[in-house]
Amino acid sequence: MQQIQSAGLLKSASFIDGQWCESENQFDVVNPFDNHLLCRVADAGQKEAESAVIAAKKALKEWAAKSAAERAEILRNWFDLIQDNQSLLGRLLTLEQGKPLAEAEGEVGYGAGFIEWFAEEGKRVYGDTIPGPAQDKRIVVIKQPVGVVAAITPWNFPNAMIARKAAAALAAGCTFVVKPAAETPLSALALAELAQRAGIPAGVFNVVVGKDSSSIGRVFTQHPDVAKFTFTGSTQVGKMLAEQCAADLKRVSLELGGNAPFIVFEDADIDAAVEGAIQCKYRNAGQTCVCANRLLVQSSIKDVFEEKYIAAVQALKAGNGLEEGVDLGPLISQKALEKVDELVQSARQEGATVRLGGEKQGSSQFYPATVISDVDTKMKIAQSEIFGPVSPIISFTSEQDAIRIANDTEYGLAAYFYARDIGRVWRVAEQLAYGMVGINEGIVSNVAAPFGGVKHSGYGREGSKYGLDDYLDIKYLCFSGLNT
C-alpha cells in the first residue's frame, strides 16, 4: 500500500471536473482477504453526482470538437500510463477485490487494451453516401457523439469494466461519469488520477464514489443532461435502472448476469475441455458474468471427465491473492458467500451429489472449490447465477438434449462447448441462444471481439468495431435542390 501511495495512486475522494472532492461523510474500503481496513473514502451522493453530470456537460462541446486523432493521442497517453503502472494497479485491485495478483495485473492490461483499441477505432467512425431517390437529391450519413454518458459498474472487474466503457465513450467524443461499486472504488480513482496525468481535460472523465447507489443512480438515469446510460451488473438492478431511463428515452446499454453452459461432447478433447473449464469456472473465484455456471457432459464420457476435472479442481490453491501461486481468492463479501452456500445446500437437498468441497469453513470468506454431480436442469443451482467457485455437472445423452438444456434459462450471455466434429460445431454454435460462444475455448473476451448478451443478459456490445456504435448517433443529411 505504501508503494501505491507514494506513486500517488491511492485516492480517497470523488474526481469531478478535474478536482478531488471531499464529502461530509466517509465509508470504509476493506480487503476481502482479511477484512482489514484499506482506506476511508469520501461518501458522495446526489449532490456530487449532479455536479459530475454538469461538469461532463460543460466539457462536452470542446471534447467532441477535437479531431479523432487529437483524442487518440490523449487516450494513448492514458494507455501508456496505465501500462507503466500495471503492477501497482494490479496490487491495488487485489487488495480491494481479492483476486490473485496475476489475474489482477491481467485485468489492468485487458482494460488498458480497450483504451488503445478505441483510440485507434475512433479514427474510423465512417459515414456513408447513399444514392438519392431523385436526380437532385443526395443522402449523406454522418455519426456524432451521443453526449454525456453515465455509467455504473460492478466490483468483480473494478478496472476493466470502467476502461471498456470509458474508452469507447471518450473515443467517440462523449464525456463520461461513472459510479464504481462501493466495495471497489480505489481502482476507479487510480484510473482518474492517470487520466488527469494523461491530459484528459477536466470534466471529460469523472468518478463519483459513494454508498448511496440508489440516489446516484437516479441522477445518472434521470438528469436531463445525461444522453446515454450504460450499466454492468445484475439483471435485477439493470432492469430497474432501464425503467428509470425510460421516462426520458435515454439510450441504454446493459451488460447483465449470465448462466453459461459449458458443454463437453463425447468427441471432445477431454484434457483440453478440463483445462478450459477450469479457467472458465474458477477465474476470479467464479465471480464473473461469463464463467461456466453449468457443466453439461455427455453421459458416455461423464465418469472419465469427472475424474480428471475433480483432480484439476483439487490442485487449485486458495489464499491471499498477493501470494505467489494462489489460484483462488476470497469471495467479495460474507453475503456473497452465504448465497453460494445456500445454492450448494439446496442442490444437496434436491438430490445432487457433492463430490468435492461444499461446506463453509468457519467465518472465512473463502468458499472451497466445489464440484457437484448428478445435477438436474430444474434444480435451483442450475437456474441461478452462482457467482462462486462451484461446478454443477449435468449429464445429457444427445446433441439436441444438450442444446435444449443449455438454452433452458432466461440468460443469454456466454456459452461454451468442446467438440471436434465440424458439422456438430456449426449446428451447436448456431443453435445456442447466447451473445457469445466459445468453441474449444474457455475464455472468449478480448478487445477485438463484441462482448454482450441477449435475453435477460442485456443489450449493447462492448469492444470491437461495434463497440463505438453505442456512443454514436446516426444523422442523415438530405441534400436537395442541386440542379441548376
Active centre residues (catalytic):
255, 289
CB 172 to ligand NAP: min, Å: 19
Per rule CB under 6 A, is residue 182 in the interface with ligand NAP? yes
Q: Which of residues 401-460 bind ligand NAP (CB under 6 A)?
A: 413
CB 153 to ligand NAP: min, Å: 6
Q: For residues 112 and 7, give the distance between their C-alpha atoms in angstroms, rounded to a whole number.
A: 18
Return all residues near 312 (Cβ < 8 A) that are at least 6 apart.
274, 275, 278
Per rule CB under 6 A, is residue 255 in the interface with ligand NAP? yes
Q: Which of residues 259-298 bind ligand NAP (CB under 6 A)?
A: 289
CB 291 to ligand NAP: min, Å: 9
Alpha carbon distances (Å) from 359 to 231, 337, 342, 350, 351: 34, 11, 10, 16, 16
Total residues binding ligand NAP (CB under 6 A): 24
What is the separation of C-alpha 14 from the centre of its chain, rounded to a whole number of angstroms?
22
Q: Give 6 or 236: the residue with its C-beta nearer to ligand NAP.
A: 236
Per rule CB under 6 A, is residue 53 in the interface with ligand NAP? no
Per rule CB under 6 A, is residue 467 in the interface with ligand NAP? no
Return all residues near 204 (Cβ < 8 A) that are at least 6 apart.
56, 59, 63, 170, 175, 176, 195
Per rule CB under 6 A, is residue 256 in the interface with ligand NAP? yes
Per rule CB under 6 A, is residue 230 in the interface with ligand NAP? no
Q: Which three cell numbers stand for residue 14?
A: 470523488
CB 336 to ligand NAP: min, Å: 8
Q: For residues 196 and 202, give the distance between their C-alpha atoms in angstroms, rounded to a whole number.
A: 8
Cα torsion at 463, 93, 52, 174 (round to 10°)?
-20
Q: Give 94 or 373: the residue with its C-beta nearer to ligand NAP.
A: 94
Per rule CB under 6 A, is residue 213 in the interface with ligand NAP? yes
Per rule CB under 6 A, is residue 186 in the interface with ligand NAP? no
Among the candidate windows 227-235, 260-268, 293-301, 345-353, which touches ligand NAP by CB under 6 A? 227-235
CB 333 to ligand NAP: min, Å: 9
Q: Give 51 or 259: the residue with its C-beta nearer to ligand NAP.
A: 259
Q: Are 286 and 389 in contact (CB under 8 A)?
A: yes
Per rule CB under 6 A, is residue 187 in the interface with ligand NAP? no
Per rule CB under 6 A, is residue 234 in the interface with ligand NAP? yes
Q: Which three cell numbers stand for residue 402?
A: 444438450
Per rule CB under 6 A, is residue 155 in the interface with ligand NAP? yes
Q: Are 149 and 161 in contact (CB under 8 A)?
A: no
Taking 3-state DSSP, the helix, strand and coil percentages for the chain, each rounded to the nearest 5, stand at 40, 20, 35
CB 155 to ligand NAP: min, Å: 5
Q: Are 146 and 471 in contact (CB under 8 A)?
A: yes
Per rule CB under 6 A, is residue 222 in the interface with ligand NAP? no
Cα torsion at 168, 169, 171, 174 (round to 10°)?
170
Q: Are 33 and 323 in contact (CB under 8 A)?
A: no
Residues that bind ligand NAP (CB under 6 A): 152-157, 179, 181-182, 213-214, 217, 232-234, 237, 241, 255-258, 289, 385, 413
